[in-house]
Structure 1
Amino acid sequence: MNTIAIFSDVHGNLPALETVLADIRNRNINQLYCLGDLIDFAPWHNEVIRTIRDLGIPCLMGNHDERIAFNLDITPLLKHNPTEAAARNAAINYSKQSIAPDCKEYLSQLPEHLRLTISQSGKETDILLVHGSTRSNNEYIYEEHDIDDIRKMLNDSQADMVIMGHTHKSYIRTVPATADSKGGMAINCGSVGRSREGQPLASYLILEIDEEGIRPEIIQIPYPVTAVIEAIRKSDIPDFYAEFLMQTI
C-alpha cells in the first residue's frame, strides 16, 4: 500500500507544521505535498518556508504567498469586519517587511497547481492539487458549494479528484456521476496552522492507495497552540490572531 500526505495553509505556524511533519514521519509516509499559504498570521514565516524548501516538499503558490512574493496590494474582503480587516492589513504588512530575500524568491517560483496520476489495478486516477480552486488560488470552495460547479471543474480540468485548501475547513465530498459526467471527488485538506473548525488542531489529508482503490482520510492532531499564542503576542503581529487561537482552546 502507498500513502500520500497533503497539507495546506500553514500561515507561519511553525509548531503546527513541525507537529504535522512528525506525525507524517511516524506513519512512514514519504510522499508529501503542500497546497500553499506558508506565510502570514504567525511569526515564523521564514522558518516555515525554509523547512518546506529544504525538505524538498512540492508546494503550490497560495494567495498569501503570491501577495508577498510580488508585493501585491491587499484586497479587502467583504467577510471581514473593520477590526479583522485592520489586523489582516497589519499582519500582511509585517510579512512584507520581514520576509527574507531567499524566502521571497522561493515563493515567487511556486507553481499554481500540480497533477498526480495514480495507477492501480490497471486503472489510472488523475488528481489535481490546487490552493483555492481549479480557476484561482483566491476562490473559496466550501463543502456546500454548488455540486454542478464542482462537477464542471472536474470535467474542465480532466481530473477524477480535486484537492484544495484555502478555506481552512476540511471535508471529503463525493461528486456523483451524471449522464454527461463521470463524477469524482472534491476534498479540502483543511489548515495546518489556522484551522477554522473550532478546535486547536492541525489538519491534513492522507490518501491510502492499494489495488482496491484510493481511500482519503482527514487527520486532525493537537499541537502546542499556547506557545503559538504567546509568540504572536510577543511579535509585531496583531494580538487579534492570538485571540483567534484562544477561542479554540
Structure 2
Amino acid sequence: MKMALFSDIHANLEALESVLSDARSQGCDQFACLGDIVGYAADPVACLKIVRDLGCPVVRGNHDEGAASESPLEELNPLAQKALLWTREQLSEEQRVWLLGLKLVRRVREFTLVHATLDSPGNWGYVTNCFDATASFSYQTTQVCFYGHTHVPRIFEKCGAVCDVTTEDIVLRRGVQYFVNVGSTGQPRDGDWRAAYAIHDTEAQTLSIRRVAYDIGTTRAKIRAAGLPPSLGRGSF
C-alpha cells in the first residue's frame, strides 16, 4: 500500500489538487490529512469538500479549530487572525461541526497521525528540534507518527538517542521509531514555494517527501479578490 499524507493545506485549492494528482501518479491509493485544511488562502469550502470526499483519516489542526469555533484568536499572528475571521464567514454550521468533531490524534493501521505534538496535542506546540521530538516520542506507541504544523518537512528518529535525519527517501529500520513532518501543502515555510507531502510505502517500508509545483498565480489572484492580505499569496514564508 502507498499512502499519501498531507498537512496544512490552508485553503490553497491549486496546491491541494496538484498534490493529489501527483500522489495518484505515484501509485498512492490511500490518503491521510494531518489538519489545517482551512485558514490563510481563499478556498476553504472547496478544500474541505475535497478532503471529505476522499473519505480518508483526518486530524484537527489549530486553524481548523479556530475557524470552526468562536474562540479568541489572540495567540495567532495578525495575518492568521484576519484569515480565520474571513474563513468563519465562509463555512456553514455543518462544516464547523465536522471540523470540531475531528480527533486530535488518530491511529491508522500501524502508524499515528497528529497535527502538532503527541505530548500535548491540543496546546499546538511546535516540534522543530530533537528536544521537542523527544517529548512526543515519549507518547508514541507506533513505529511511525506523522505530523505537520511547522510547515517544514523533517524526519526525527529514535534509536536510543533522538536525532534529526535527512528528509530524502529513507528506509524504515526495525527497532527504530520515526516522527515525520510531512511539510505543508498550501504554505511551505522552508524557502521552497512548491507544495509538500509525504508518501509512505508500507510494503517497501520507505518514507519520502515530495515537492510539487502548482498554479500559484491563480492562488494569489483569489487571495486578492477575496480581500485577504496579499502577503498570504507569497507561497513560501
TM-score by length of 1: 0.83
**Contact 1:177 1:184 survives alignment (8 Å):** no
1:130 aligns with 2:114: yes
Alignment of 1:1-249 (within 5 A): 2-77=1-76, 85-118=77-110, 127-134=111-118, 135-137=120-122, 138-142=124-128, 144-146=129-131, 150-177=133-160, 183-210=176-203, 214-242=205-233, 244-245=234-235
- Measured against aligned partners, the alpha-carbon deviations of 1:136-156 in whole angstroms (never above 9, x if no partner) come to 2411101x231xx53443233
- Measured against aligned partners, the alpha-carbon deviations of 1:152-194 in whole angstroms (never above 9, x if no partner) come to 432333232221100000012222226xxx6511110000000
**Contact 2:3 2:199 survives alignment (8 Å):** yes
Partner Cα separation in structure 2 for residue 150 and residue 140 of structure 1: 9
**Contact 2:144 2:178 survives alignment (8 Å):** yes
Q: Which runs of 4+ in 1 moved over 6 A?
A: none
- Matched residue type, 1:140: Y
CA separation of 1:228/1:185 partners in 2, compared to 1, >3 Å: closer, same or farther?
A: same
The answer for unaligned runs of 5 or more in structure 1 is: 78-84, 119-126
- Measured against aligned partners, the alpha-carbon deviations of 1:178-215 in whole angstroms (never above 9, x if no partner) come to 6xxx65111100000001021220100111122xx621
Partner Cα separation in structure 1 for residue 35 and residue 189 of structure 2: 17
**Contact 2:7 2:182 survives alignment (8 Å):** yes
Indicate the SS of the match to 2:17: helix
Indicate the SS of the match to 1:185: strand
**Contact 1:154 1:183 survives alignment (8 Å):** no
TM-score by length of 2: 0.87
Between 49-58 and 161-170, report the one with greater CA deviation.
Answer: 49-58
- Matched residue type, 1:48: C
Partner Cα separation in structure 2 for residue 174 and residue 236 of structure 1: 42
Indicate the SS of the match to 2:71: coil
What percentage of aligned pairs have identical amino acids?
A: 27
**Contact 1:62 1:131 survives alignment (8 Å):** yes
Between 40-49 and 94-103, report the one with greater CA deviation.
Answer: 94-103
Tell me how large the CA RMSD over aligned residues is: 1.8
- Measured against aligned partners, the alpha-carbon deviations of 1:85-130 in whole angstroms (never above 9, x if no partner) come to 3332211110112212232122122111111334xxxxxxxx2110
Indicate the SS of the match to 1:229: helix
Displacement of 1:35 after TM fit? 0.4
